[in-house]
Amino acid sequence: MSELLKIQKEVFQADLQRYKDYESSPATESHDSFIQRINESFHYTIFIEGELAGGINIWKITSTHMGLFRIFLKEHFQNRGYGSEIMRLVEHQFPEAQKWSLNTPKDNVRNRYFYERIGYQKIGELQVNDKLILIEYEKEF
């Protein structure tokens, strides 16, 4: 698990520097919190071409509503179509889900484009601190 946490911290380090969100940033998550989150969610460790590549955590909000809490991939696996395939597989893993929710930083154009391209629609915004605004997204099936 410590290698997976290391990947998460590396992936979110730039966001931490940009938004200064030291309380809730994945880049500052403790080992104990990381393990607890894995145990309390639907967690999938992602391997690509036999290499530990990242992880994804899903929350069950209601019996028909799921939430993407976090997805992260090592940088050299990003922008190669893996994220879209992982999201497709995870969404199909929960056929009872009629709605999916997630959020991403407002000024992260790449993430927003990715989620919108795979069918998520903006439903609102959440101000986290003076530097970070999250866009809330939903996708209905």
Is the pLDDT reported for residue 3 higher than 90?
Answer: yes
Cβ-based neighbours of 105, under 8 Å, separated by 6 or more: 15, 19, 111, 132, 133, 134, 135
Q: Which domain holds residue 14?
A: 2-140
Residues forming beta bridges with residue 70, ordered by sequence position? 57
Is the pLDDT reported for residue 1 higher than 90?
Answer: no
Domain count, the chain: 1
CB 40 within 8 A of CB 70: no
CATH number at residue 10: 3.40.630.30
The pLDDT of residue 23 is: 87
Segment 58-73 shows an average pLDDT of: 97
Segment 77-99 shows an average pLDDT of: 97
